[in-house]
Amino acid sequence: MSAGALRRPVYVSGIGESRPVPRDPRAIPEMVLEAVQAAYADARCAHTDIDAVVTASVDLLDGLTASNIAVTEVVDAVMKPETRISSEGLAAALHAAAQIASGAYDAVLVVAHAKTSMADYQGLTRWALDPIHVQPLGADFLACAGLQAAMLADGDPGAERRWAKVAAERRRAGNGTFLIPSSVEEILLSPVIAAPLREGMCAPLGDAACAVVLTAGSAAVRLTGVGWDLDSHALGERDLRRWDGLRRAFARACAVAGMDPRGMPIDLVEPSCFYPHEEEMFRAATAIGERAELSPDGGLFAGTAPVVAGLSRFAAAARGVRAGRAKRALAHGAWGPAGQGQAVAILQAGA
Amino acid sequence: MSAPVHVALEMDQSWRYAAPAAMARFCAGLKERRIEALRCGGCGRRYLPPRPVCGNCHLPLADWVPVADEGRLEAWTVVHVPILDPRTGRMREAPYGMGLVRLDGADTTLNHFLAQSDPARLAIGQRVRAVWREQLAGAIDDIRHFEVLA
């Protein structure tokens, strides 16, 4: 594996969000516009300052082929080079960073959106699985997560209670927008939805948009490490008990940042974990210890939306660095069945 | 080469679209045979169908202007492939005319069906007029099609 440092510094200049809510009555362009305008205001820039745009959206969720066409104007992509990433917002940010690091552009807007209230999200994920040998079974991403959790819980009788404790802790730290069971006992009594996962162990999904302005010009937060990885799509071709893709993505990000992955002094970690067992896999793949602050605001358990999750973690990590809560922070994004795709960003303070 | 594997799958899925506020007003206007466009405060471009933001200036649009139900045919085609009409669930018979119409008072064009399907009788620049349905529902097909004016 080889990975060199970014050829040009990349900074996080602006952050804007349409915060996750269970059901946003607005149209997707209206949600997205709120995030973009907030990011521009935060960056103190105008649309004429933006050279290029990278968007993240998924056609199936939007019920629209080429889902970026509905937001072309609001993401400020008219007469600009736009790239659409159909996986995860953090992957979009890393592609935008590559555009800046290459010298192609000086300022790139990154936007991710998803509105799960539009349709049956888990039902839609069936379409993202193999049409011949998985779709006929009716399996969806939730079933994949259940399979993964079941493998991890095998021979570990304390797993369920441990996961309930993690979920309860994250929910307590969240903002309470989503009304969901929050104590350990409530979570353990919540309905089983994909054994051994219970309803209370799942990060609540809703509608959200997030926008970030990346620039070559100096700002308070610098992006120093980037890495991503795609594992086999077929569940049967992976050891589901491990996120090997994350391990590789993390190693690449550390190499780009010029850091030793075993001795990374990271103060703040913002992982994209939709279930508590994923948090355990995250810790194992990155060897992030207990010293780092992890999801202080509840992470995805405060409410999230697929596609947006990773970019919102990036925004949270950048806010932590900007506020002086961390000198170095890690943001993580994951997508696909049982975390097939993985992305890591390392942020640090200062120019 | 092996034969393709045929797996019969039947999946039903629907989406609940939230109309942007501008589109909701546009649709409400149709129910009263009223067509409105949104004008950009920066470049002055009048958008029909209305858009939430001007793509040129990236300014939110809020200045409504009236538009006639007559205009100029900017482009036309005659389609010979039958399509499943998603509004009725029935096949739409071919051939049928389709055009881009720039209504008087707008700077962008509206995509719609044309009453005329004879290529010999269609030409860019022709004046066209909306033919409204008797029963209006507040949807784009409240206009049945556009007919060429003599």
* More confident: A158 or A289: A158
Tell me the count of A-B CB pairs closer than 8 A: 65
Interface touch A131/B19, C-beta < 8 Å? no
Let me know how long chain A is: 351
Chain B contacts of A79, Cβ < 8 Å?
A: 55-56
Residue A50: pLDDT over 70: yes
Question: Residue A1 pLDDT > 60, yes or no?
Answer: no
Give the pLDDT score at B3: 79
Distances, alpha carbon B76 to alpha carbons A10, A349, B83, B116, in Å? 48, 57, 17, 10
Distance from CA of A18 to the nearest CA of B (A): 16
CA distance A326 to A347: 9
Residue B1's pLDDT is what?
62
Paired sense of beta strands B127-132 and B70-79, if any: antiparallel
CB contact under 8 A, A135 and B9: yes
Query: Which pair of structure tokens corresponds to residue B62?
Result: 């809020």
Token pair, residue B145, equals 């099609």
User: Can you name the residues that pair with A82 across neighbouring β-strands?
Assistant: A53
CB A72 within 8 A of CB A102: no
A138 vs B: CB within 8 A: no
Cβ contact (<8 Å) for B16 and A117? yes
Q: Do B7 and A47 make contact, defined as CB atoms within 8 angstroms?
A: no
Please name the amino acid found at residue A171.
R
Tell me the ipTM for this assembly: 0.74
Which residues in chain A are closer than 8 Å to B18, comparing Cβ atoms?
Answer: 24-28, 118
pLDDT in tens, A129-184: 888 778 777 789 999 999 999 999 999 999 999 999 999 999 998 877 787 768 99
Chain B: residue nearest A123 by CA?
A: B13
A16 versus A143: which is more confidently predicted? A16
The answer for residues whose C-beta is within 8 angstroms of residue B22's C-beta and 6 or more apart is B38, B50, B51, B52, B61
A12: its two tokens: 């996080």
CB crowding A99-138: b at 16 or more within 10 Å, else e:
bbbeeebbbbbbbbbbbbbbbebbebbbebbeeeebbeee
DSSP A70: G
Peptide bond into A261 cis (omega under 30): no
Question: From residue A90, how far is each of A54, A57, A226, A342, B115 by CA, in Å?
Answer: 11, 11, 10, 9, 48
Note the pTM of the prediction, 2 decimals. 0.90
The helix (H) or strand (E) run that includes residue A20 is strand A10-21
Residue of B nearest to A63 (CA): B15
Answer whether A23 touches B (CB < 8 Å): no
Report angle CA B23, B27, B28 to the nearest 5 degrees: 115
Please enumerate in sequence order all residues whose Cβ is within 8 A of that of A308, keeping only pairs 6 or more positions apart, or say none: A20, A56, A89, A112, A113, A114, A208, A209, A210
- For an interface test with A, the pick among B53, B54, B59, B111 (most A C-beta atoms closer than 10 Å) comes out as B53
CA-based nearest residue in chain B for residue A133: B7
Which of B30, B35, B32, B24 has the alpha carbon at shortest distance from B108?
Answer: B35
Q: Give the H or E element holding residue A349.
A: strand A341-349
Domain A221-349: homologous superfamily in CATH: Thiolase/Chalcone synthase (3.40.47.10)
- Interface contact A26, partner B, CB < 8 A: yes
CA-nearest of B104, B103, B101, B105 to B115 is B101
Mean pLDDT of all residues belonging to chain A: 93
Please say if the pLDDT value at position B11 is more than 80: no
Give backbone dihedrals phi and psi of A16, rounded to 5 degrees, phi first: -145, 145
C-alpha separations of A181 from A199, A220, A276, A299 in Å:
9, 38, 15, 16
Closest CB from A27, A30, A120 relative to B13: A120
> Which pLDDT does position A12 carry in this prediction?
98
pLDDT tens for each residue of A82-113: 999 999 999 999 999 999 999 999 999 999 99
Show me where the domains of chain A are located: 10-119+206-215, 121-201, 221-349
A12 vs A315: CA distance, rounded Å: 9
pLDDT for res A53: 98
Q: pLDDT by residue (tens digit) across B56-110?
A: 899 999 999 999 999 999 999 988 888 877 777 788 888 999 999 999 999 999 9
How big is the CA angle at A316 (ends A315 and A320), to the nearest 5 degrees? Answer: 115
Residue of chain A whose Cα is closest to the Cα of B14 = A119
Alpha-carbon distances of B120 from B37, B77, B94, rounded to whole Å: 32, 11, 16
Q: How far apart are CA A38 and CA A17, in angstroms?
A: 7
- Give chain A positions within 8 Å (CB) of B20: 26-27, 29-30
Q: Where are the domains of chain B?
A: 21-148
Q: Nearest by CB to A132, which of B7, B57, B58?
A: B7
CATH match of A10-119+206-215 with 3.40.47.10: yes
- In this prediction, residues A35-59 reach a mean pLDDT of 97
Which of A53-62, A132-141, B101-110, B136-145 has the lowest average pLDDT? Answer: A132-141
User: What is the token pair recorded at B108?
Assistant: 């962008």
